[in-house]
Amino acid sequence: MDVVREFRNGALRLLVLRHATDAEVHGALLSEWLAARGHRVSPGTLYPLLHRLQDAGLLKSRIEVVDGRRVRRYRTTKRGKRALAECRAVLAELAADVA
């Protein structure tokens, strides 16, 4: 078991929820945003993550046509915002305990 990889995957879920709380996002935008912060995430990782978060009721999406292409835009749901707030509290506790 790779503990660091599991931790990064959990952190990635929180980063996606946080960014989708700030604004409506799509996969390419999230990928750029994450890469700018040092997180290299492949489409094969990001898109299934978005679908899992949506299936869990933490994200909602809508499809928009832009320049003839369908773009799925995501936004954090109320449930997702509550989950993010709870995770932030747990993360703050853990950071205090680990540091």
Question: How confident is the model at residue 16, as a pLDDT?
Answer: 95
Which residues does residue 72 pair with via DSSP β-bridges, in sequence order? 63
DSSP 38-63: T----HHHHHHHHHHHHHTTSEEEEE
- Domain count for the chain, please give it: 1
pLDDT tens readout for residues 71-83:
999 999 999 999 9
Contact yes or no for 16/89 (Cβ under 8 A): no
Domain extent, residue 37, equals 3-98
With 80 as the cut, is the pLDDT of residue 19 above it?
Answer: yes
| CA dist list (Å): 67 to 27, 42, 47, 62, 63 | 16, 24, 21, 16, 13
Span 46-73, average pLDDT: 95
- Whichever domain contains 13, its CATH number is 1.10.10.10
1 has a pLDDT exceeding 70: no
As a whole number of angstroms, the distance between CA 69 and CA 66 comes to 5
